[in-house]
């Protein structure tokens, strides 16, 4: 039996409905691949042509060839008002032929080591940066080339969207096609921001070293190149140590790139400054001075006029200035900072008069917070399992070497934590700190954003460590927000990547601890030492007064706004009349907040506020040696509860003088006009 041979398709019957056989042979596989490649190349060429036409319209090359325009930065409030306009220090562009070779080498070594060989984008640099950012501990690394940085500075905004990065890469390729490497480097060095409001290499060399760019030494060039990472933060006029540390990294990068030998690098001395200041006649405010460095960094080296939106609220800012201006401060100073619970600063006053003193006491000054620091002590107690109803001795401390006293030598016996906080008992705060430990109190303060150095002894509980007012506001904002930490910021937050959001996420308070500390803050602001600040809406806050009344503070929140107020003297002299946080700061706070949250409240007359404070403190129930005694004051009179018996003193009795209690009530809880100061 023979094997069947191959079947001839031409001899087989065609299926019904099939067309005639094709006259053309089917394409071979290699011809099919060529067709697909041709289609891809045609589509790619079309995309390139469209991109070139788009770039010619939206980012013409001639723009990079124009003379440098002086940059101008306008800070705008959130509702569109101009806050301040700042110019810049600039000079004429540099040319590569006039620069020592080590000057561009310093910038290439730290910013773009393959600048001479790439075509505008550096895939190796991008891959290296991506790998670093994936595995590092949070410090991000960029992969942009010098050409890309020039493209961003000349043509684009500073947003970090994928669309902007794509345009940046395309413009970089465009620039590389039409400019030489020397021309790109010249434009880059002449445009970049070096901190201190200085743009361009020539202006920076003049400002920091008082010399022309052609005379820059290697250490000086390295320091200037190092500034580009964070020009405002590393500016050597304010952070010489940081600038020199960064310059050392640049010189080591020059060794790694082959521009220097290790021996040459090791023999280099650190750069020395010879600052040449140029007067800046532009406008300023306390808030503008605070936010400007961040605004400069966000704007980058983009020339021409820019408008940067801030978080400041124009209406609220004017109310803050008016509240400070109307206060009878005499020779004392005052500061106020107001923010939303997310840290967005809406108002800032750093002193009575910016024109006379631009020193920002809300941010730059570090003063003792006094009893406002007790927020952290009581939160530590709640973390340890205590509650506002737990009892503590408000009696003199007779053991140990540290023996603080209550303000005025007034003690209340055994009282609850709620009562101790409202009356701002010093000895109670010390006993709580002894119970939970100083480290636990410091841990709470750090969690809530306090970065200032803290003393590691019992005096910490009474606010003896110096803290900027804005950090106190951040801590109280965390309580208002129910999450920590809260970071004060004057610019709207930028879009962040998932890794940044993961690393910088807030932590929520334990719901029970949050409810208890809010209970105490409400008690202090409505029935305790801060009652002069109480509004009709729910008010939370705490007073602070330091030794000899050198600082008086009130920090609190209401109506979705957190505000801190400080009153004191720049020379740290005591305030006259024993001023306290429950006095002038609380009244400034109340006057400002009532308008800021649209709750008009007339300021209480000076002579009635002390009486209000007495009544508020007297309204706190106490436990004495003869049993539980409760004293209540309302519009109709005074009620005294002793055990199960109640005594009612109607209001038609002769009025007691302001600052005293009715004579038939034993003064088991003496009046105080200030919180307990150390």
Q: What is the mean pLDDT of the chain?
A: 79
Q: pLDDT for 239-258, tens place per residue? A: 999 999 999 999 999 999 99
CA distances from 328 to 332, 394, 612 (A): 9, 34, 20
What pLDDT, on the 0 to 100 scale, is given for residue 219?
A: 97
123-176 pLDDT, tens digit per residue, is 776 666 555 545 554 444 455 888 888 877 665 544 444 455 667 777 788 788
Tell me the per-residue pLDDT of 333-371, one tens digit each, with 9 for 90 and over. Answer: 999 999 999 999 999 999 999 989 999 999 999 999 999
Q: Given its phi and psi angles, is residue 463 left (phi above 0), alpha (psi -120 to 50 degrees) or beta?
A: left
pLDDT at 551 over 90: yes
Q: Is 575's pLDDT higher than 50?
A: yes
Q: Which residues contact 640 (CB under 8 A, 6 or more apart)?
A: 629, 630, 631, 632, 646, 647, 648, 649, 665
Q: What is the mean pLDDT of residues 648-661?
A: 35
Judge whether residue 623 has pLDDT over 60. Answer: no
pTM higher than 0.75, yes or no? Answer: no
What pLDDT is stored for residue 151 in this prediction?
A: 79
* pLDDT greater at residue 54 or residue 313: 313
pLDDT above 90 covers a percentage of the chain that reads 52
Q: How confident is the model at residue 42 (pLDDT cuts 50, 70, 90)?
A: confident
Radius of gyration of the chain (CA): 35
- Inter-residue contact 637 to 662 (CB < 8 Å): no
The pLDDT value recorded for residue 522 is 95
- Let me know: does 423 contact 448? Beta carbons within 8 Å: no
pLDDT at residue 644 greater than cutoff 90: no
| ∠ CA 323-309-78, rounded to 5° | 45
Mean pLDDT of 596-614: 51
Contact assessment for residue 604 and residue 615, using Cβ atoms and an 8 Å cutoff = no
**pLDDT-derived band at 199, boundaries 50, 70, 90:** confident
The residue-averaged pLDDT of 451-468 equals 94
Which residue in 542, 375, 558 sits closest to 460, CA to CA? Answer: 375
Q: How far is CA 638 from the centre of its chain?
A: 48
Least confident interval from 10-14, 328-332, 448-452: 10-14
662 pLDDT more than 60: no
Task: Quote the CA–CA distance of 130 and 109 in Å, as a whole number.
Answer: 19
Q: Which residue has the higher pLDDT, 276 or 288?
A: 288
Select the more confidently predicted residue: 618 or 197: 197
Residue 667 has pLDDT above 80, yes or no: no
pLDDT value of residue 649:
43
Per-residue pLDDT averaged across 476-503, rounded? 83
pLDDT in tens, 624-635: 333 334 444 433
Amino acid 323: pLDDT: 96
- The pLDDT-based confidence of 621 (bands split at 50, 70, 90) is very low
Cα-Cα-Cα-Cα dihedral sign, residues 67, 68, 69, 70: negative
Q: What span, in angstroms and rounded, lies between the C-alpha atoms of 566 and 472?
A: 11
Which of residues 369 and 607 earns the better pLDDT score? 369
In the chain, count H helices and then E strands.
23, 18
Vertex 505: Cα angle to 499 and 510 (nearest 5): 150
Task: Taking residues 562-580, report their average pLDDT.
Answer: 91
670 falls in which pLDDT band (50, 70, 90)? Answer: very low
Category of 413 on φ-ψ map: left (φ > 0), alpha (ψ -120 to 50) or beta: left
- 298-311 residue pLDDT tens: 766 555 557 889 99
CB-based contacts of 577: which residues, under 8 Å, 6+ apart?
A: none
The secondary structure of the chain in percent helix, strand, coil, rounded to multiples of 5, reads 45, 15, 40
Task: Report pLDDT for 136.
Answer: 53
How do residues 391-435 score in pLDDT, each as one tens digit?
999 999 988 888 898 888 899 999 999 999 999 999 999 999 999
Res 146: pLDDT: 87
């Amino acid at each position: 039996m023979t094997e069947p041979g191959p079947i001839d398709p031409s001899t087989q019957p065609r299926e019904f409905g099939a067309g005639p056989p094709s006259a053309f042979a089917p394409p071979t596989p290699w011809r099919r691949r060529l067709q697909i490649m041709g289609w891809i190349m045609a589509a790619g060429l079309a995309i390139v042509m469209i991109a070139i036409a788009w770039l010619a319209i939206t980012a013409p090359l001639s723009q990079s060839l124009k003379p440098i325009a002086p940059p101008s930065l306008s800070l705008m409030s959130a509702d569109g008002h101009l806050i301040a306009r700042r110019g810049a220090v600039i000079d004429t562009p540099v040319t590569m032929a006039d620069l020592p070779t080590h000057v561009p080498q310093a910038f290439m070594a730290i910013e773009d080591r393959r600048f001479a060989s790439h075509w505008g984008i550096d895939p190796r640099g991008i891959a290296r940066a991506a790998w670093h950012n994936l595995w590092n501990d949070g410090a991000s690394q960029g992969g942009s080339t010098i050409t890309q940085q020039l493209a961003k500075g000349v043509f684009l905004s500073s947003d970090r969207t994928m669309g902007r990065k794509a345009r940046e890469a395309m413009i970089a390729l465009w620039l590389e096609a039409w400019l030489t490497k020397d021309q790109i480097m010249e434009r880059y060095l002449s445009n970049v921001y070096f901190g201190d409001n200085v743009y361009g290499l020539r202006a920076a060399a003049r400002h920091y070293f008082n010399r022309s760019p052609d005379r820059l030494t290697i250490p000086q060039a390295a320091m200037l190149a190092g500034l580009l990472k964070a020009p405002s933060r590393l500016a050597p006029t304010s952070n010489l140590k940081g600038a020199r540390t960064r310059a050392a990294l640049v010189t080591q990068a020059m060794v790694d790139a082959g521009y220097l030998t290790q021996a040459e690098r090791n023999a280099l001395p650190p750069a020395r400054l010879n600052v040449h200041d140029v007067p800046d006649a532009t406008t300023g405010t306390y808030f503008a001075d605070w936010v400007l460095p961040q605004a400069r960094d966000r704007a980058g080296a983009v020339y021409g006029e820019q408008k940067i939106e801030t978080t400041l609220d124009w209406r609220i800012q004017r109310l803050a200035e008016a509240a400070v201006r109307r206060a009878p401060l005499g020779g004392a100073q005052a500061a106020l900072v107001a923010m939303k619970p997310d840290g967005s600063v809406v108002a800032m006053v750093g002193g009575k008069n910016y024109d006379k003193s631009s020193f920002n006491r809300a941010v730059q000054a570090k003063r003792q917070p006094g009893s406002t620091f007790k927020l952290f002590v009581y939160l530590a107690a709640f973390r340890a399992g205590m509650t506002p109803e737990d009892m503590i001795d408000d009696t003199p401390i007779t053991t140990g070497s540290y023996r603080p006293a209550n303000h005025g030598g007034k003690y209340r016996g055994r009282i609850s934590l709620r009562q101790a906080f409202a009356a701002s008992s010093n000895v109670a705060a010390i006993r709580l700190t002894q119970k939970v430990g100083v480290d636990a109190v410091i841990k709470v303060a750090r969690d809530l954003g306090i970065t200032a150095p803290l003393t590691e002894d019992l005096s910490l509980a009474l606010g003896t460590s110096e803290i900027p007012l804005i950090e106190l506001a951040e801590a109280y904002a965390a309580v208002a927000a129910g999450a920590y930490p809260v970071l004060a910021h004057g610019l709207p937050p930028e879009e962040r990547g998932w890794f940044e959001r993961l690393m910088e996420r807030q932590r929520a308070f334990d719901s029970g601890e949050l409810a208890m500390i809010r209970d105490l803050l409400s008690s202090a602001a409505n029935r305790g030492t801060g009652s002069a600040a109480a509004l009709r809406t729910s008010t939370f806050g705490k007073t602070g007064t330091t030794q000899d009344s050198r600082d008086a503070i009130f920090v609190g929140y209401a109506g979705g706004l957190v505000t801190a107020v400080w009153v004191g003297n720049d020379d740290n002299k005591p305030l006259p009349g024993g001023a306290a946080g429950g006095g002038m700061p609380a009244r400034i706070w109340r006057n400002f907040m009532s308008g800021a949250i649209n709750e008009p409240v007339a300021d209480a007359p000076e002579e009635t506020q002390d009486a209000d404070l007495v009544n508020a403190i007297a309204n706190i129930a106490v436990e004495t040696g003869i049993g539980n005694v409760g004293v209540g004051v309302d519009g109709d009179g005074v009620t005294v509860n002793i055990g199960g018996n109640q005594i009612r003193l109607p209001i038609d009795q002769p009025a007691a003088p302001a600052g005293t209690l009715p004579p038939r009530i034993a003064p088991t809880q003496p009046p105080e006009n200030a919180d307990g100061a150390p």
